[in-house]
Amino acid sequence: MKTQDFQSFSEFWPYYLSQHSKRGTRWLHFIGNTNLFFWLIVSVINLNWKICVFAIVSSYGIAWIGHFFVEKNIPATFRYPIWAGLGDMLMYFKMIRGELDAELKRHSGSK
C-alpha cells in the first residue's frame, strides 16, 4: 500500500477510521488504551520506569492483535506513529462518550 502524506490530523482521521473498520479491532484498542492508562498510573505511583515500558509494550500488543487477526491490516502506527497515537486517543475518548458510531458513519466511504 502506498504511503500517503497527510498534512493535518483532520486529513489523517478518516484514514485512521478506515483502518479500524471492525468492531473487534476498536474494542481491542479500547482495552489496550485502558491497560496503558492503568499501568502508567501504577508506574507514576511507584516511580518505576520499567512499568512504564511494560505499559506501552503490552498496550500496543493488545491493539495490534486487532490489526493482525481481526482487521488483517498493518497498524497505522508503523507508518504514522504520531498521527496514530493521536487517533488512538481520539477513538478511545469518542468510544467512552458514545460518539464513535456517529463518527464512523460520517466518515464512511472516505479513505
Instruction: Using alpha carbons, list the distances in angstroms from residue 38 to 10, 19, 35, 96, 110.
Output: 28, 25, 5, 16, 34
User: For residue 61, which of 41, 39, 82, 83 has the smallest C-alpha distance?
Assistant: 39
Residue 16 counted as domain residue: no
72 domain residue, yes or no: yes
pTM, 2 dp: 0.89
For residue 51, being part of any structural domain is answered with yes
Cα–Cα dist 43/4, whole Å: 36
Q: 67 is in which domain, residue-wise?
A: 24-107
Classify residue 17: in a domain, yes or no. no
Contacts of 15 by beta carbon, 8 Å cutoff, 6+ apart: 4, 6, 76, 111
Residue 18 resides in a domain: no
CA distance 16 to 78: 12
Q: Is residue 15 part of a domain?
A: no
Q: Give the total number of structural domains in the chain.
A: 1
pLDDT single digits (tens) 20-72: 999 999 999 999 999 999 999 999 999 999 999 999 999 999 999 999 999 99
